[in-house]
Structure 1
Amino acid sequence: MASRSRTRNLQVFDTELSADTVEWCPVSASNDVLVCGTYQLQKGAGEEDATPSRTGRLYLFEFRQEAGSMIPPLTELQRLDTAAILDLKWCHVPVSGHTVLGMAAATGELQLYTLSGSQEGGRSLQTLSSVEVGTERLALSLDWSTGRMDSSDVRVVCSDSAGCVSVLSLAEGALTSLSQWKAHDFEAWISAFSYWDTQLIYSGGDDCKLKGWDLRVGPSCPTFTSKGHSMGVCSIHSNPHREHILATGSYDEQVLLWDGRNMRQPLSESPMGGGVWRLKWHPTHQHLLLAACMHNDFHILNCQLALEGNGGACPVVASYILHNSLAYGADWSRLSLEEPIPCSPAVAEPKESLTESGGHLRIQYESPTASFDTSLEDDAGRYIPEGIAAPSTTPTAGPALNSNDDSSPLSGLLASCSFYDHMLHVWRWDWAPHEVQQKPEQC
């Protein structure tokens, strides 16, 4: 028995400005919708002390994969010029019948948009509400309280460059500030809800501290302060499937898993070889964790043993290595990939420059809108050339994934973006955790 893992690039899009955040819509009626945010620092012209400006752009896409079609599946629906975007998050449930997107902006604002229209009439983002969390600061992150798909209490937490954390409520289309406090000495890179008890807030900052807050007793004192990370804490995600489980990442290149009932010692520590800017638990499988690792690409961790209390580093079961710049934004789609992705048509080969770097094969190409099969990897994330006997893991049509069956083959659709090369990638991952090796499929 051996696991089989394969990642395949489906499409690449040039965002023109530096890309740092990407999010698939979790609301079931709009699972095919993807947004990408960009951040561009524009240096002032003329005098050396001229204040630089930060600009951004918000992209709205629709993903449609038709069987047998050679048309790239990602279609741009809209682009909006905005302030520089630091983070994007969809509310997990409709609010008053509307699908809502939150944006953390370099102007210090938390901005909300609604997704309007339909597949027949076209969809677009419309401004809903905006609130300034503070002057002369950048809004750095946001999270919704609805991670377990519960709409009974819709709130947003936002962190900023002044080290503050703000909690806001959303009612009747308007944001209302509930509380704000100084949480960290320097930038508060990340803030997040506990999805199981939304009165609990987590925050991480450039002061190397991870902190917990209980809104019932007020933010005058944290419930805990952890120095488990040795550098700035920049990613936090509560597991929506397992109560008390928390994943954190840092510039120290470590992913730590925690049991929220005991924050003295992490459940596991996994070195990633790059600062961990974003972490995302799989939408249905409790043990799979996606990590955007800045200088070391994108990786999927299998946290099963750690969640069972066995400790040790979580193994990497897949790596996506085709970006050529800082790995910042990454997200799982909830779309079901029941139809196999067709083999690529015979087209002219893209220009490639292959260099070995830490065991990774980097592919550089000139066609940012191409749709082609680019990479095979084994369960350790190593590149496997097409010519050798590496079995395909393209699944056959089947039922939806069962989050309680950790041995079933699965297929996932993901998106990732990288900064200086301003690229958005959409890719597919197929994994058979325990499957006998078979004759490879011929594409």
Structure 2
Amino acid sequence: MAWKSRTRSLQVFDTEQSTDSVEWCPVSPCHNILVCGTYQLNKEEATPSRSGRLYLFNFRQDALMSPPLTELQQIDTAAILDLKWCHVPVSGKALLGAAAASGELQLYGMSLNQVRSEEKSQTVGPQRLVLSLDWSTGRMNGGSEDVRLVCSDSAGCVSVQTMGEDSLMMLSQWKAHDFEAWISAFSYWDSQLVYSGGDDCKLKGWDLRVGPSCPTLTSKRHSMGVCSIQSSPHREHILATGSYDEQVLLWDGRNMKQPLSESNMGGGVWRLKWHPTNPHLLLAACMHNDFHILHCQQALEGSGEPCPVVTSYILHNSLAYGADWSRISLDEPVPCSPPATEPQEVTIEGRGHLRIQYESPTASFDTSLEDDTGRYIPESIAAPPASVHAPVSGSFNPQSGTPSMSSLLATCSFYDHMLHVWRWDWTSDKTEQEMR
């Protein structure tokens, strides 16, 4: 049976400030809640500052004649580098964590379609930016008795904290990387295991039971800064990592000498998100090369081959940073509509890789890649070759026994400050024919 893939934009929202993070709430009954964070560097001031804004939206699936996304709230705050919801309720509330340029790990509680700042926010250190955070609750099992957070910062440090009655309590903090520690993440199967990635091109693993004096693993498999890590909530030991080197690597945590697969994305991989229910689908935000969904089944089964891209969302016009899946169920496949226009293919003389000027969201450094001759190639023609994305075989079945599959996603891009909400539909030829 052959399968067809479609993406359709549902709504575009201008956030006014540079946008770098979007997150759907995973806690029932708040799956309709979406948050978005912005990061604005104010260079015109005598002393440049970083400001941000937290947006709260409600998504209405039944909004047939009006935009489905409704803004509920916005909060001016320090610039936001990362947002993550706790996967389980804490004290009866959905809890949102924000990594802020003020050096704070900020917490917000969800109540009556509003988020309110919690007194449990904490500063991780002076003169630093919190760059990422993760919760230990990714498998969504158990209660909230041992909820932990891990965060990384611009000083190269990683911090692990736990929820106390009145405040966040620091369990440990250590120097993990030589430069910015772009990303930190829990193993969702063992909250005593933490991973981190930094601008020193290193992926590291840490066992909190033996202390952070020495990492349990150090990998230099990525050739540039490691900026995305996520443990699979579906399969134990599976880890996905991404880097400015444009590669997505899949790992088995029991053997970190060699990745299970390596996939060239044609752009620096800023965020990776596993699908909430399908263990084989991985969403990648690829900076200069849009957003892509990878199908990882064969790689996870040991093929050693790159993960094919099953669909791409190409309607953003700036750096692809924030991306997330919704847990809202979309029962009906989208009606037939024209496919999104693919970017025009550009012929470039010479061989080698395009030179792209990468800018971190903190505007703290630039990283360049160039072609064999050292020529600069403008971003406007930096589309990857078609061979980057391998085709998917017609026998691909998104979920065994189902005639179709639909997902709701949100993505955001930086300099054009745009939030997009869109849907992706996999439909079999047979189902599509029955719809006509």
TM range (shorter): 0.7 to 0.9
Give yes or no for contact 1:2–1:437 (8 Å, CA) kept in 2. Answer: no
Amino acid at match of 1:337: L
TM-score (norm 1): 0.83
Structure 1 unaligned blocks of 5 or more: 118-122, 345-351, 360-379, 383-401
What's the secondary structure of 1:29's corresponding residue? coil
Q: How far did residue 144 of structure 1 move?
A: 0.1
Where do residues 9-408 of structure 1 align in structure 2 (5 Å cutoff)? 9-45=9-45, 50-66=46-62, 69-117=64-112, 123-128=113-118, 129-150=120-141, 151=143, 152-341=145-334, 356-357=344-345, 405=400
Structure 2 unaligned blocks of 5 or more: 348-387, 391-396
Give yes or no for contact 2:333–2:404 (8 Å, CA) kept in 1. Answer: no
Amino acid at match of 1:35: V
Instruction: Tell me how far apart the structure 2 counterparts of residues 175 and 404 of structure 1 sit (CA, whole Å).
Output: 40
Amino acid at match of 2:140: M
Give yes or no for contact 1:286–1:403 (8 Å, CA) kept in 2. Answer: no
Match of 1:429 among 415, 418, 424: 424
Distance 1:148 1:408, change over 3 A: farther
Q: How far did residue 108 of structure 1 move?
A: 0.5
TM-score (norm 2): 0.84
Percent identity, aligned pairs only? 73
Greater RCO between the two (CA within 8 Å, min separation 6)? Answer: 1
The C-alpha deviation readout for 1:89-114, integer Å capped at 9, x for no partner, is 00000001111000000001000000
Amino acid at match of 2:251: W
Q: How far did residue 28 of structure 1 move?
A: 1.4
Q: How far did residue 173 of structure 1 move?
A: 4.9
Distance 1:218 1:271, change over 3 A: same
Give yes or no for contact 1:11–1:72 (8 Å, CA) kept in 2. Answer: yes
The C-alpha deviation readout for 1:192-234, integer Å capped at 9, x for no partner, is 0000011000000000000000000000000010011000000
Q: How far did residue 339 of structure 1 move?
A: 3.8
The C-alpha deviation readout for 1:375-422, integer Å capped at 9, x for no partner, is xxxxx989xxxxxxxxxxxxxxxxxxx997386521000000000000
Instruction: Tell me how far apart the structure 2 counterparts of residues 94 and 320 of structure 1 sit (CA, whole Å).
Output: 32
Give yes or no for contact 1:96–1:172 (8 Å, CA) kept in 2. Answer: no
The C-alpha deviation readout for 1:124-153, integer Å capped at 9, x for no partner, is 110112100010000000000000113341
What's the secondary structure of 1:71's corresponding residue? coil
What's the secondary structure of 2:121's corresponding residue? strand
Q: How far did residue 80 of structure 1 move?
A: 0.4
What's the secondary structure of 1:10's corresponding residue? strand
Amino acid at match of 1:127: S
Amino acid at match of 1:405: S
Amino acid at match of 1:137: R
Give yes or no for contact 2:398–2:405 (8 Å, CA) kept in 1. Answer: no
Instruction: Tell me how far apart the structure 2 counterparts of residues 420 and 323 of structure 1 sit (CA, whole Å).
Output: 10
1:5 partnered with 2:1: no
Amino acid at match of 1:125: V
